[in-house]
């Protein structure tokens, strides 16, 4: 039987986020409301609220809570925003985003992960999230543009096609760097003059790969 999170660890979860500098109350509330233990492998549920990444199916990971909160805070979400996420994974980041904006389109290249995340999010009632099996480097034209874009896998460089999906004053958060090593989290804002790029913190993410994965 899988372990379940103990109450002191859940309490430390919020305290750790605050101590590490997360101050947006809406983000903290979303992190409190979304049951992280549902998004990790059953065997890891006892570790769900530790500030560490955990492995999930298809060789992917669920990011550590601080990174999820930090990236979400950097998006400066507003209730009316439409958000694109590349790299659904277990659906945890999409669930957090769903509490803070009007609609989330999340794209996953592994069918196993996409199907499981879709069912999980539907079961929890997060009905403003759409899970798409697809290629994060080739978003369907009909998907339109977005107020915010978040990439939860490492890109060696930011594709021009992704930048063009940003609405004016839109924000993109993406880990940029080598696939096997340390990346830098980059925040890009679309301005009247072009794109304002700022480097934030060093991170480690699994690679963002093109195409839809072979069945796993």
Q: Where in the sequence numbering do the catalytic residues fall? A: 63
C-alpha to C-alpha distance for 145 and 161, rounded to whole angstroms: 11
DSSP letter, residue 141: G
Please, are residues 149 and 173 in contact by the beta-carbon 8 Å criterion?
A: yes
Ramachandran bin of 21, using left for φ above 0, alpha for ψ from -120 to 50, beta for the remaining angles: left
User: If you compute the radius of gyration of the chain from its CA atoms, what whole number of angstroms results?
Assistant: 16
SS3 per-residue string spanning 31-65: HHHCCHHHHCCHHHHHHCCCCCCEECHHHCEECCH
Q: Which two tokens stand for residue 67?
A: 């990174």
Quote the CA–CA distance of 118 and 104 in Å, as a whole number: 12
Alpha carbons 70 and 91: distance in angstroms, whole number: 17
Q: List b or e across 41-79, with b for residues whose CB sees 16 or more CB atoms inside 10 angstroms.
A: eeebbbbbbbeebbebebebbbbbbbbbbbbbbbbebee
Tell me how far apart the alpha carbons of residues 121 and 92 are, in angstroms, rounded to a whole number: 9
């Amino acid at each position: 039987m899988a372990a379940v999170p103990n109450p002191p660890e859940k309490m430390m979860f919020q305290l750790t986020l605050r101590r590490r500098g997360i101050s947006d109350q809406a983000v903290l509330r979303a992190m409190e409301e979304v049951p992280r233990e549902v998004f990790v492998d059953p065997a890891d549920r006892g570790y769900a609220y530790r500030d560490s990444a955990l492995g999930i199916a298809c060789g992917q990971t669920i990011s550590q809570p601080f990174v999820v909160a930090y990236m979400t805070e950097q998006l400066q979400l507003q209730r009316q925003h439409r958000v694109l996420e590349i790299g659904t994974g277990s659906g945890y980041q999409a669930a957090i985003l769903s509490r803070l904006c009007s609609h989330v389109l999340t794209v996953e290249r592994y069918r196993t992960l996409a199907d499981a995340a879709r069912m999980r999010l539907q079961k929890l009632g997060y009905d403003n999230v759409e899970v798409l099996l697809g290629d994060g480097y080739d978003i369907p034209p009909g998907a339109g543009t977005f107020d915010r874009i978040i990439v939860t896998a490492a890109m060696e460089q930011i594709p021009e096609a992704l930048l063009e999906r940003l609405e004016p004053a839109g924000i993109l958060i993406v880990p940029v760097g080598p696939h096997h090593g340390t990346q830098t989290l980059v925040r890009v804002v679309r301005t009247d003059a072009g794109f304002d790029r700022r480097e934030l913190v060093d991170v480690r993410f699994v690679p963002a790969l093109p195409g839809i994965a072979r069945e796993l």
